[in-house]
Structure 1
């Protein structure tokens, strides 16, 4: 894995953390320019995540012929355990602290649909959000994985086109016609294609190692994001996010070998899943004891970081390796048993 991409993934995760800090503690009513930036633009971390996801999935499967079932199973055991755990914790938090969190509601139907990555109206009445609200992005991720699993039936050169056609069919045909949930009628899904495109040009050696030009590109992309609303998300935020990803890859020589950046990138998924729970805990503390919100946030940050590292080591990496080893062992046993 490129360390530059890992560093960017960590940065994107923490941008989302700051965005949700402004939501939970201030109800998106910032008092200064930094708070306003994270309120209005912090969600762009999701767009960067999606571009990186397309890049990583493409690079990890290029020139490989993997059965669709094995690809999906590998993605499930990588993504699902941590998500299910934190969804359960969120459900328990909502039940226990409901009087203090009146806008958060959970029922069995929405909880089960959340675990199954099926979009549904949150019982709190604020949209198509799962029990662990940040899980809405994983519904798109799972859609991408399902559609991407089909590409192994085709030649390598056709695979990006197959994914593009499948995403178009789901989003602009089925989603916008109402044949499936309107949740999928969102052009944000095309950001996965931007990542795949970056993977293609990276493999061809078209991304060169530089310093000042990538830094300038990052500055221009951030300025574009600052000036434009997320109305046409694939254009206003998706393309600048793709520029940032390409620029970071160009900066790889300046980050290569950094264990800290690699670790931060490794923990980014757990940061993303865990942070809302910790922030709610910090917010409840401010409500009960009158703690300054920024002091509470200063405490939440190391708690999130430490919790995410433990989550990565014990759940994401540890459990994934055990489950994958068990599945590979069963697969080898079946192959040996076949005469």
Structure 2
């Protein structure tokens, strides 16, 4: 779906598809194959960490959100226009809440016997406490929506201050976030989970994305001169960072308090912001069918993200752990392909039925 407030860049759609796919394979691997915890806690140095720690796709989503919206703010500033807060929030509500409410209703319907009236408030706080969506694997991905929407609520202000003061303002915000994290880490008994799933732990990823958009606006032409080299280095940086985390500070370590996680989200988003800049700078000429598939994947990425666990669980219930070839890896890849194809179909249907009609109600939010 094209934006009304920024010229369309299909490369952004391709990155959305990548982020959703990383989370899909992460959940498929852990839910279907449930590897022993000791394998996850002490892996070797392997690029497969992109799957075992594939929750990094969430970090990519958050970084990309900051990048994209700062691009919009910069573009509108060039047009001598500003963001109208009411219209901005209206558009974000239309983008997120129809599908999110659908998933929320699924969750409270499953847990109808334990439902409490106050559970309705978790619509605003899906990442905290005993949220109905977090009780079930099939709706668990919805925890990110509250974090994302909290960013939307303050973004117009941060963008305005950044346009007035320059990137220095974002660096000041990042400095404050680090101080907040240090303080929260000191008193939290389960700091890893807290830093993983709360605004304190994640807000810096949006800020880094915004900073990357400023870099792109100022140095985009220079980056494009060596775009493919930049992209290669960015891919190595992302992979190396995930391997480092998997080896020494996996989310699955039994220790609930790891100092590494104080800076984890920052370094994760820095790596992904370099990747975003590299992907845009390289401007790869992909085969047309592949490019169209990836761009459609970007269109349906929100449905793919919120509904993939539901489809994975259905496929797992229907097929179990098949032994079609007698080779576990080959059978796993075949089952993953089936689950991904089914998720793609359900997500395309969801996008056409739930998302797109509401997206067509959006309006311009700059004047």
Q: How would you bin the TM-score normalised by the shorter chain?
A: 0.7 to 0.9
Range with greater deviation from structure 2 (25-34 or 67-76): 25-34
Q: 1:212 to 1:156 in 2, by over 3 A?
A: closer
Q: 1:175 to 1:314 in 2, by over 3 A?
A: farther
Matched, 1:259 2:292: yes
Matched, 1:61 2:73: yes
How do 1:133-282 and structure 2 match up within 5 A?
A: 133-151=140-158, 154=161, 156-158=163-165, 172-173=179-180, 176=183, 184=198, 186-206=200-220, 207-209=223-225, 210-228=227-245, 229=249, 231=261, 232-255=263-286, 258-282=291-315
Q: 1:297 to 1:221 in 2, by over 3 A?
A: closer
> Deviation digits for residues 166-208 of structure 1, max 9, x if unmatched?
6776885599569xx9864633321111111111111123332
Q: Would the aligned equivalents of 2:241 and 2:271 in 1 still touch at CA under 8 Å? A: yes
Which residue of 2 is the match for residue 113 of structure 1? 121
Q: 1:118 to 1:263 in 2, by over 3 A?
A: closer
Matched, 1:10 2:17: yes
Q: Which whole-Å CA distance do the structure 2 matches of 1:123 and 1:111 have between them?
A: 7
Q: Which whole-Å CA distance do the structure 1 matches of 2:283 and 2:11 have between them?
A: 5
- Selected match of 1:72 from 69, 84, 89: 89
Q: 1:161 to 1:28 in 2, by over 3 A?
A: farther
Unpaired segments ≥5 residues, structure 2: 1-7, 188-193, 251-260, 324-330
Structure with the bigger RCO (C-alpha within 8 Å, sep 6+) is: 2
Range with greater deviation from structure 2 (253-262 or 237-246): 253-262
Which residue of 1 is the match for residue 337 of structure 2? 298
Q: Would the aligned equivalents of 2:49 and 2:242 in 1 still touch at CA under 8 Å? A: no
Q: 1:249 to 1:155 in 2, by over 3 A?
A: closer
Tell me the secondary structure at the aligned position of residue 360 of structure 2.
helix
Range with greater deviation from structure 2 (1-10 or 34-43): 34-43
Which residue of 2 is the match for residue 336 of structure 1? none
Q: 1:220 to 1:154 in 2, by over 3 A?
A: closer
Q: 1:276 to 1:175 in 2, by over 3 A?
A: farther
Q: 1:117 to 1:45 in 2, by over 3 A?
A: same
How do 1:121-136 and structure 2 match up within 5 A?
A: 121-122=129-130, 132-136=139-143
Tell me the secondary structure at the aligned position of residue 122 of structure 1.
coil
Q: Which whole-Å CA distance do the structure 1 matches of 2:343 and 2:124 have between them?
A: 26
Unpaired segments ≥5 residues, structure 1: 97-104, 332-339
Q: Which whole-Å CA distance do the structure 2 matches of 1:194 and 1:4 have between them?
A: 19
Superposition deviation, residue 301 in structure 1? 1.2
Q: Which whole-Å CA distance do the structure 2 matches of 1:35 and 1:21 have between them?
A: 17
Q: Which whole-Å CA distance do the structure 1 matches of 2:15 and 2:202 have between them?
A: 19
